[in-house]
Amino acid sequence: GESVGLHLPTLSVQEGDNSIINCAYSNSASDYFIWYKQESGKGPQFIIDIRSNMDKRQGQRVTVLLNKTVKHLSLQIAATQPGDSAVYFCAENGGAGSYQLTFGKGTKLSVIP
């Protein structure tokens, strides 16, 4: 079936730098996307979401960009902090009216103090 995938399985960044985590999705019917952060020993935590009628959405220190033409999603974290170290997952809903999420493989972000 269709799936969501990530370009980079691991990412190391210096504290204070910006981080960019990428995600490619293949289900063109998906109209809702979410980024989750999962710290060691915890469940996934909602970070930010975006609908397909938008191409950019900003939160506190995080920005999600959506490029529907190439089916690409990215999460930008500004001024990365040690507390940002975690595995980040993108997820897609598979289309309007679908409540089930398909998750990408995850990117491990390590912040170097």
Partner 1 sequence: SAVISQKPSRDICQRGTSLTIQCQVDSQVTMMFWYRQQPGQSLTLIATANQGSEATYESGFVIDKFPISRPNLTFSTLTVSNMSPEDSSIYLCSVEDLGAAQETQYFGPGTRLLVL
Answer for which of 25, 50, 85, 104 binds partner 1 (CB under 8 A) is 104
Q: Does residue 21 contact residue 10 with C-beta atoms inside 8 Å?
A: no
Q: Which residues, other chains included, contact 106 with Cβ-Cβ below 8 Å and sequence gap of 6+?
A: 6, 9, 38, 87, 88, 89
Q: Quick check: 103 binds partner 1 (CB under 8 A)? A: yes
Q: Is 89 in the site for partner 1 (CB under 8 A)?
A: yes
Rounded CA gap, 14 and 98, in Å?
A: 39
User: Which residues, 2 to 31, sit near partner 1 by CB under 8 A?
Assistant: none
Nearer to partner 1, 74 or 103 (CB): 103
Rule CB under 8 A: say whether 49 interacts with partner 1: yes
Residue 36 engages partner 1 in binding (rule: CB under 8 A): yes
Can residue 94 be called a binding residue for partner 1 (CB under 8 A)?
no
> For the chain, what's the residue count?
113
Contacts for 55 with CB less than 8 Å, ≥ 6 apart: 65, 66, 67, 68
- Does residue 42 belong to the site contacting partner 1 (CB under 8 A)? yes
Q: Which residues contact partner 1 (rule: CB under 8 A)?
A: 32, 34, 36, 41-46, 49, 89, 91, 93, 99-106
